[in-house]
Structure 1
């Protein structure tokens, strides 16, 4: 069964833009490889003592480093599977490494014409049906920190990387790798298809701890190093004079206490987390004029997010809405929404433990 859901489709498209959720592309230095072909005396000993684990880690590191420089455009399909439903969308994607990106939705009809643009300074999301332009701080440059974090996790063995075989995506040969937490406990994991020629990630599948596929994003066509027009990363929808809606800066804090001081109320926290998950960061946003605390937990592969506001009787059911794959609950004087790429039973266990 295929359905459309604007919130999840927008959320699913972000799978294409972060390692802990997405598309990671990079042009390698092909000059060195080409030069190696002309070396008079080959030196096979250089690779003689490489351990079996070195090659998969090298594929992951190349893919992560690629995020910072590859320029590309293509057509991408994103699908999120939740509770037996397949929620899909198609986008035209333009990306300039970790400097800028643009997503233009082409289907379903409900989203066709929407555009998301980030030029490294500002983030815009234009919704033509309401003629609204959401404006916020850039998100694309957060990639640098995430790339460094994952590379360090791979080096110290916090994640395991294994090669699963070869495939062809968007007419390009690629290597398939699985990236999983090394804590030995069942936890969400990812399968990545990495372009053999460029290091580009051409496809990603995300699985929960039970091995159930939760989302998939892949290219049907892709062009490397296309020409980019001067206005490609300008704010979309300006010719229609849209209504401007300012988005929260959502500044991350290292401790829950800092977020509580900013929001003006205490945060309720889970006493249970799935194996391997640890507190990552807290932030303070805004929901209909009310402060909202967001707590994020990470296992090195996936993120669980807990949103909460003070339940003063005026919030109503729209906080969280009817999100597929999320749990909304009122308890302990708070309205809570828990979102994560884990099984429904684990989501329920986490939110039930919030105190």
Structure 2
């Protein structure tokens, strides 16, 4: 069962990269998008999702998307999204505290405009896509375009789901929503305008982020990660019910820091993700002073303790009380 669960997590990690749902409170952010022109009808939901995932970032477009977080409290944001030459840039238009903030997905890197960067989830499949339960629910219009509606559920959480509206010509997700195990709507993102084709501006990395390098992560055990990074892995002693560690990786940091690394831990309950980054505080530019955790402009919990800088995020968002329990359980 655990092997099957890990396979589903790898697949869903790839899908999550295409529609990365929650950097609370800035809400769901979509990244990679695919193009696959096919003549004739789609034979199955699996075929639609496989096209969505396998061909990502080939379409060229400019669009505006709106995201609403419903839980733990209602929050709204709007972003301009540009995709060209395999890169995607997300520029926040609202709310005021996020206006002008930028996120760039460039191959194996996710770069923020504060100069920080992380590794994007690895996309590797095989037959693992069949481990997910998928249902084609029909078609609908989104932003004036025909879409296929697909519901996706993992085998381990029958009551939780993600529903995705996928462009019937370009195979781009134009809308997606997340529901929790009780069926409550957690978040929804929807393109209100989108234009494909020529005239899409070139994408340059944010000025600060362009100085950072975040190469692909190396998967390993916690002991191997400690040996490579040169510092101990600090794992939370508390996780919400159903979550287990699914991946450990070490990321090489920016140029100029020879032998400088960050450790990334990913936990999942089969559909949702908790991600924890650990880095020596001396390597983090403008790291906060040791003290109480704070929520960054991008919605991640950030703090410094014992000489290490921590970043914690959950997709979809978890209640504040649960996040505090995870943070306080880290030794």
The TM-score normalised by the length of structure 1 is 0.65
User: Gapped runs of 5+ residues in structure 2?
Assistant: 1-22, 282-288
Question: How far apart, CA to CA, are the structure 2 residues paired with 1:205 and 1:164?
Answer: 14
Residue of structure 1 aligned with 2:44, choices 40, 46, 55: 55
Report the CA distance between 1:161 and its aligned residue.
0.4
Match of 1:16? 30
Cα deviations by residue, 1:242-270 (Å, 9 ceiling, x for unpaired): 79874766844321112223141242344
Cα deviations by residue, 1:85-109 (Å, 9 ceiling, x for unpaired): 31x2222211137x21122222233
Match of 1:181? 154
Report the CA distance between 1:190 and its aligned residue.
1.1
Change (3 A) 1:109 1:84: closer
Change (3 A) 1:117 1:336: closer
| Higher fraction of helix | 1
Alignment root-mean-square deviation, CA: 4.3
Alignment of 1:331-342 (within 5 A): 338-340=312-314, 341=316
Match of 2:79? 91
Report the CA distance between 1:182 and its aligned residue.
0.9
Question: How far apart, CA to CA, are the structure 1 residues paired with 2:242 and 2:60?
Answer: 37
SS of residue paired to 1:8: coil
Q: Does 1:295 align with 2:265?
A: yes
Match of 2:92? 105
Instruction: Check whether the contact 1:263–1:293 (CA below 8 A) recurs between aligned residues.
Output: no
Q: How many residues align?
A: 294
Residue of structure 2 aligned with 1:260, choices 212, 226, 229: 226
Instruction: Check whether the contact 1:75–1:91 (CA below 8 A) recurs between aligned residues.
Output: yes
Alignment of 1:19-98 (within 5 A): 25-30=33-38, 32-33=39-40, 55-86=44-75, 88-96=76-84
Question: How far apart, CA to CA, are the structure 2 residues paired with 1:243 and 1:64?
Answer: 26
The TM-score normalised by the length of structure 2 is 0.69
Change (3 A) 1:228 1:243: closer
Match of 1:152? 127
Instruction: Check whether the contact 1:292–1:308 (CA below 8 A) recurs between aligned residues.
Output: yes
Match of 2:181? 209
Report the CA distance between 1:169 and its aligned residue.
0.9
Instruction: Check whether the contact 2:237–2:326 (CA below 8 A) recurs between aligned residues.
Output: yes
Change (3 A) 1:81 1:331: farther
SS of residue paired to 2:30: helix
Instruction: Check whether the contact 2:178–2:186 (CA below 8 A) recurs between aligned residues.
Output: yes
SS of residue paired to 2:177: strand
Question: How far apart, CA to CA, are the structure 2 residues paired with 1:228 and 1:253?
Answer: 36
Q: Does 1:170 align with 2:151?
A: no
Instruction: Check whether the contact 1:285–1:293 (CA below 8 A) recurs between aligned residues.
Output: no
Cα deviations by residue, 1:113-159 (Å, 9 ceiling, x for unpaired): 33334454876544xxxxxx52647x5xx46x32x33x63222x2x1
Instruction: Check whether the contact 2:147–2:166 (CA below 8 A) recurs between aligned residues.
Output: yes
Report the CA distance between 1:322 and its aligned residue.
8.1
Match of 2:10? none
Instruction: Check whether the contact 1:117–1:235 (CA below 8 A) recurs between aligned residues.
Output: yes
Question: How far apart, CA to CA, are the structure 2 residues paired with 1:91 and 1:208?
Answer: 24
Change (3 A) 1:118 1:321: closer
User: Gapped runs of 5+ residues in structure 1?
Assistant: 1-6, 18-23, 37-46, 48-53, 127-132
Report the CA distance between 1:203 and its aligned residue.
0.6
> Which is higher, the Rg of structure 1 or of structure 2?
1
